[in-house]
């Protein structure tokens, strides 16, 4: 039986766990994402292979600490998309989050205990969207914020390790 290739949204949803707080199965998730990308978006595999090499010797605790320094406590790069669109103190952030929460509800998407504008959550939500809806999400919510996050994580000397999953997301988005 011929299996239908996953949509771009489903592929983005597969990458989402790599941009969430790591658990003990993080490296296994990374292997699974690499396999999905190898079959469906080979251009996005290389950054994740680099990421895999860089985190190979890190413990779960080390990954958790790196994630926290990167995205949580005094974050190097905020994972909250509305911050990149509107800035920290803009009331329009709330409007965007309310709109996203409504869209989640319309699609039957559970957004856990996370704010609706978290990058990983939006990537998971991508798997619920039609091609047209995904284009809108990318255009209005993901494009420029991903550029900002990527530039920040790439740094001037050497990239933060979480740069590589962000780069993989960008490659999937740009893929035909």
pLDDT at 3: 61
Percent of the chain exceeding pLDDT 90 equals: 83
pLDDT higher than threshold 60 for residue 119 = yes
Cβ–Cβ under 8 Å, residues 12 and 170 = no
Query: Which band of pLDDT confidence, cut at 50, 70 and 90, is reported for residue 2?
Result: very low
Task: Give the mean pLDDT of 72-85.
Answer: 90
CA dihedral (143, 149, 153, 154) positive or negative: positive
Better-predicted residue by pLDDT, 3 or 145: 145
Distance between CA atoms of residues 61 and 172, nearest Å:
29
Residue range 142-165, pLDDT digits in tens: 999 999 999 999 987 889 999 999
pLDDT higher than threshold 50 for residue 123 = yes
In whole numbers, what is the pLDDT of the chain averaged over residues? 93
pLDDT at 48: 98
Q: Where are the domains of the chain?
A: 8-174
> What number of other Cβ atoms are within 10 A of residue 115's Cβ?
15
Distance between CA atoms of residues 173 and 169, nearest Å:
6
Distance between CA atoms of residues 169 and 66, nearest Å:
19
CA dihedral (63, 25, 21, 14) positive or negative: positive
pLDDT higher than threshold 60 for residue 11 = yes
Distance between CA atoms of residues 165 and 37, nearest Å:
12
Residue range 99-108, pLDDT digits in tens: 999 999 999 9
Query: Which band of pLDDT confidence, cut at 50, 70 and 90, is reported for residue 1?
Result: very low
pLDDT at 137: 96
In CATH, the number for domain 8-174 is: 1.10.3480
pLDDT at 73: 80
Q: What is the DSSP string of 107-169?
A: TT---TTS-TTBHHHHHHHHTTS-HHHHHHHIIIIIHHHHHHHHHHHH-SSS--TTHHHHHHH
């Amino acid at each position: 039986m011929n299996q239908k290739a996953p949509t771009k949204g489903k592929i983005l949803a597969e990458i989402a766990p790599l941009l969430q707080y790591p658990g003990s199965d993080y490296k296994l998730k990374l292997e699974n994402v690499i396999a999905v990308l190898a079959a469906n978006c080979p251009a996005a595999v290389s950054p994740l292979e680099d990421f895999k090499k860089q985190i190979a010797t890190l413990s779960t605790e080390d990954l958790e600490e790196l994630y926290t320094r990167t995205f949580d406590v005094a974050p190097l790069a905020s994972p909250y998309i509305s911050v990149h669109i509107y800035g920290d103190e803009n009331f329009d952030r709330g409007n965007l989050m309310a709109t996203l929460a409504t869209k989640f509800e319309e699609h039957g998407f559970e957004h856990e205990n996370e704010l609706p504008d978290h990058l990983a959550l939006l990537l998971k939500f991508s798997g619920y969207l039609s091609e047209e809806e995904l284009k809108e999400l990318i255009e209005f919510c993901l494009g420029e914020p991903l550029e900002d996050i990527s530039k920040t994580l790439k740094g001037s000397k050497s990239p933060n390790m979480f740069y590589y999953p962000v780069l993989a997301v960008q490659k999937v988005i740009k893929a035909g």
